[in-house]
Structure 1
Amino acid sequence: MNRQSRRATVPYLAGWLFADVLLVIVLVVLGGERAPHDRTSAQEPSPTPTPTSTARRSPSPGPTATPTPRAGPGGLDPATRSITVHTDANALVAGSKAARADLAHQVADGVERFKGRTAAFVMVFGTVHGAGGAVDSGRSDAYATAVARLLPRTEPGFFPPYSEKIIRGYHDSSGDIRSGTARIELFFLLR
């Protein structure tokens, strides 16, 4: 095979590889889809046939069967809710008790509207501006992580135990957000 024909083969093979990868992705997505089901039929028991006889019987006062609710589809609710808090980011990262208390108070007020629910997954987006007014991504990450670590201690019944897989801090690089702001995105399980 000469050099010229090898060059023509590479784009041809790359195109087929791309098409094969795309096909695999489509199959995985379609395979992960769940068929919609009727919730009313899932919760109502199907009628059971009863033997009929020519003699009439009086109804017995025995126990009646009650339908047991079946669990719906699992997973995270795609609609997120958020809480926004604001405190001195540098003091919180340094371990200031006053900054932690301020944050705990704001978080408690923020989760009040979600009583009876428990967060399943939490993302914290922190914003800290640097000397020139631009967002400092390193300090923003440190601030978001400090907020994320404190959440389970502030509201242990609402937030899951701290784990970077469940509660994670990120920086928010939007320049129009006030420095020291943390947006806490909450994901709940489907009901």
Structure 2
Amino acid sequence: MTLTGIDYRAGDILTACDNELNVPTGYLGHSAIVVDEEHIVEAVITYPYVQVGRVADFLRVHPKHAQYRPVDPAWGQAAARYAVWYVQQSDRNKASGVNVPPFSFSDAIPLQDPWTSIYCSKLVWLCYYYGVGYPFYNDFYLFSPEDLDAVLSKDPNFRLVYKHPEFQFFVNT
């Protein structure tokens, strides 16, 4: 299920104001990075924590989302390459018996530390930080899906492709 007339390109960022954790819509959210026309890479709370998924599944589970695209397609391709590499490295770690990175929301771990912990929006941040050399601004605490929307909506290096009419966060995280 894709939205009519909307395409998905490497490096597109999907950020949702809803989630699968029984937290009310607008308070937590979820995010992922598109790696090709049909696939995303995301960090989830269940094992395996870093995984490849389908764009259509993200849209089905998270209808209240926004889609941002880098203005420079080379940025998107570089961020997507990092995301694919990160999944591959995570899979190699697990195959070796090392559960790295574990899923964790911890503000004690620097955002640029890719292996001590991971969560969905931190994964997107890492893809642009290491893949492109572009750090998204983080106002405080964790870098959340709300932060992605707040930052990208004002960043001239990104453009809004789609935003659900009921997409809204209620808390500045």
Question: Which of 1 and 2 has greater Rg?
Answer: 1
TM-score by length of 2: 0.22
Give the number of the structure whose residues are more often strand, by fraction: 2
Length-normalised TM-score, structure 1 = 0.20
**Higher helix fraction (1 or 2):** 1
